[in-house]
């Protein structure tokens, strides 16, 4: 062992290795194939259970009446819209700093899923706003920043597919995703900074929830289900992308042999 | 620093010789601004209410116009590779490009904003706040635009993609810029919004330069 080696702790020396273990597409396909059903089936089950509980059995709100049930669709989608962008940014960092090939594929697959969850969040919020606020849309800080998040997702999708060389698309998309991260704290704190129509957070990690447990439980179950569904969708899409890449490589090899 | 100045001088000389590009942006700014009174009617009180917002939106769109040529010509004829090898970090090169973009587009827009705003019947109290907001605002837009132009470099339909990427990121600039002018028009202090614009500029200066530098290196690979 050289002196320079001994300066690096053993755990650090292996960290690059552990990260890149999953870069092997064969290993990723085997591992994700084993994990996927364990994520997808509970995800769908919990989502359905949480939504049925929330939509049919949870109590109605004393002020908002039955319209409050939209939160079981809206709030988990909003959480996942932001968390999905954080995942996208993490993948972007992995791909820019460590050139991790799977991070590129995962980032390209996260953004369509994130865009769909953001669209669900915007649409359900709009449906809730009509009876509660009396309008489909207001230019409130929270709504506007989530709309910007939606555009960032769409821009990322368009950018990744705009290059003839997919590798360049991944790099450009990663840079864009990292620049767009400034929007995440704006979304989170918009309700505190601008005291506009959208209410501030009801649930926080620290401190007691300010909603009834009869409503909180279905919400948390639906949120867990949404999260698992999100992860399952991204895993399945990434698997499909890996296989698509393999098929393309095989076809190219065959075409070269024939030529 | 010497290379930085030389690069900036090169950009300015190039834009001086292709003067039409800068003029086109300025002309677009005026024509687009002049469309609003035709579309919403010439009533002075309505126009006065809308004037800061119109000037801001037109400035934002006009600043986007010359962006696809910012790196495009250098990328096509290969001088981008030479520029990246001239000893300047890629981020500093992007900064020089952003400075050139501001001097050839942002500064003329800033100068033209006052006449346009007066033609749109802006309240006299709002004009200083509007111009004070446009100064950091156009600088931030140049930086954001440079980053966007570097990111879409080499993409198909890059010119269409560029506004799609830059405009969502530019919304905070628009919001605080228009808020400063609106506050001044209704007799409130414009200072908080102007300070936030300054903060955005301070954030964009390193952030956009680094992003543009990374994108340029990726494009030159």
- A167-183 pLDDT, tens digit per residue, is 889 999 999 999 988 88
Angle of CA points A159, A163, A167, to nearest 5°: 95
Number of domains chain B contains: 1
C-alpha distance across the termini of chain B, in Å: 25
pLDDT at position A73 over 70: yes
How far is Cα A114 from Cα A182, in angstroms, rounded to an integer?
A: 17
| Interface check B199 vs A, CB under 8 A | no
Number of domains chain A contains: 1
Substitution target in B155, B176, B212 with the highest count of A β-carbons within 10 Å is B155
Name the band, by pLDDT with cuts 50, 70 and 90, for residue A203.
low
Is the Cβ pair A159, B151 closer than 8 Å? yes
A116-120, A203-207, B208-212: least confident range: A203-207
- Give A65's DSSP letter: B
Helices (H), chain A: 3-7, 10-21, 25-52, 71-97, 101-133, 141-160, 166-180, 183-193, 213-258
How far is Cα A163 from Cα A170, in angstroms, rounded to an integer?
A: 9
pLDDT at position A118 over 80: yes
| Interface check A168 vs B, CB under 8 A | yes
The alpha-carbon gap from B165 to the nearest alpha carbon of chain A, in Å, equals: 6
pLDDT at position A129 over 90: no
User: Which residues in chain A touch residue B208, judged by CB atoms under 8 angstroms apart?
Assistant: 179
The domain of B57 spans: 2-220
Q: Is the ipTM of this complex over 0.90?
A: no
CB atoms closer than 10 angstroms to residue A203: 15
As a whole number, mean pLDDT of residues A80-97 equals 92
pLDDT of residue A12: 46
| Interface check B219 vs A, CB under 8 A | yes
In a domain, A20, yes or no: no
Is the Cβ pair B151, A182 closer than 8 Å? no
Which of the two residues, A22 and B53, has the higher pLDDT score? B53
| Interface check A152 vs B, CB under 8 A | yes
How far is Cα A251 from Cα B5, in angstroms, rounded to an integer?
A: 51
Measured between CA atoms, the residue of chain A closest to residue B219 is A168
Q: Which tokens in the block code for residue B117?
A: 């705003």
Which of the two residues, A189 and A91, has the higher pLDDT score? A91
- Give A57's DSSP letter: I
The closest of A183, A210, A194, A199 to A129, measured between CA atoms, is A199
Name the band, by pLDDT with cuts 50, 70 and 90, for residue A61.
confident
| Separation in Å, CA A38 to CA A41, A76, A95, B50 | 6, 20, 27, 56
How far is Cα A88 from Cα A78, in angstroms, rounded to an integer?
A: 15
pLDDT of residue A206: 62
Residues 4-63 of A with CB under 8 A from B: none
pLDDT at position A82 over 80: yes
Name the band, by pLDDT with cuts 50, 70 and 90, for residue A190.
confident
pLDDT of residue A100: 84
| Interface check B159 vs A, CB under 8 A | no
| Separation in Å, CA A30 to CA A33, A99, A208, A235 | 5, 22, 42, 12
pLDDT of residue B75: 87
pLDDT, tens only, B80-125 = 888 888 888 889 999 999 999 999 999 999 999 999 999 888 888 8
Name the band, by pLDDT with cuts 50, 70 and 90, for residue A208.
low
Measured between CA atoms, the residue of chain B closest to residue A167 is B218
pLDDT at position A5 over 50: no
The domain of A49 spans: 37-195+213-258
In a domain, A47, yes or no: yes
């Amino acid at each position: 062992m050289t002196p320079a080696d001994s300066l690096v702790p053993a755990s650090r020396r292996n960290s690059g290795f552990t990260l890149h273990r999953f870069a092997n597409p064969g290993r990723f396909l085997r591992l994700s194939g084993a994990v996927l059903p364990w994520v997808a089936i509970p995800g769908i089950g919990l989502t359905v259970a949480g939504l049925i509980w929330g939509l049919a059995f949870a109590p109605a709100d004393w002020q908002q009446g039955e319209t409050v049930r939209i939160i079981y669709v809206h709030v988990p989608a909003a959480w996942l819209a932001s968390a999905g962008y954080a995942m996208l940014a993490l993948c972007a960092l992995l791909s820019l700093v460590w050139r991790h090939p799977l991070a590129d594929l995962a980032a390209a697959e996260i953004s369509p899923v994130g865009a769909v969850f953001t669209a669900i969040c915007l649409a359900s919020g709009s449906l809730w706003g009509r009876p509660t606020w009396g309008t489909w849309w207001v230019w409130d800080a929270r709504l506007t920043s989530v709309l910007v998040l939606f555009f960032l997702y769409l821009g990322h999708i368009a950018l990744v597919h705009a290059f003839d060389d997919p590798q360049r698309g991944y790099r450009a998309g990663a840079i864009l995703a990292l620049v767009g991260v400034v929007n995440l704290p704006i979304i989170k704190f918009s309700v505190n900074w601008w005291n506009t129509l959208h209410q501030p957070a009801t649930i926080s990690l620290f401190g007691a929830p300010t909603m009834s447990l009869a409503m909180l439980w279905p919400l948390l179950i639906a949120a867990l289900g949404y999260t698992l569904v999100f992860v399952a969708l991204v895993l399945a899409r990434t698997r499909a992308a890996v296989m698509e890449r393999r098929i393309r490589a095989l076809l190219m090899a065959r075409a070269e042999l024939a030529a | 620093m010497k290379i930085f100045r030389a690069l900036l001088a090169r950009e300015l000389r190039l834009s001086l010789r292709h003067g039409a590009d800068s003029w086109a942006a300025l002309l677009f700014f005026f024509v687009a601004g002049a469309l609003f009174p035709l579309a919403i009617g010439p009533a002075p009180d309505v126009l006065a209410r809308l004037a800061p917002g119109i000037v801001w939106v037109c400035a934002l769109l006009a600043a986007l116009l010359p962006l696809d040529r910012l790196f495009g010509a250098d990328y096509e004829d290969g001088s981008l590779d030479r520029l990246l090898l001239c000893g300047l970090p890629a981020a500093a090169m992007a900064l020089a490009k952003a400075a050139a973009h501001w001097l050839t587009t942002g500064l003329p827009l800033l100068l033209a904003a006052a006449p346009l705003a007066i033609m749109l019947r802006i309240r006299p109290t709002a004009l200083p706040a509007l111009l004070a907001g446009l100064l950091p605002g156009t600088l931030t837009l140049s930086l954001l635009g440079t980053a966007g132009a570097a990111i879409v470099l080499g993409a198909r339909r890059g010119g269409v993609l560029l506004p799609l990427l830059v405009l969502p990121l530019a919304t905070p600039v628009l919001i605080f810029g228009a808020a400063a002018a609106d506050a001044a028009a209704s007799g409130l202090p414009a200072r908080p919004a102007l300070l936030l614009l300054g903060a955005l500029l301070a954030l964009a200066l390193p952030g956009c330069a680094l992003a543009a530098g990374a994108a340029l290196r990726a494009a030159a690979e």
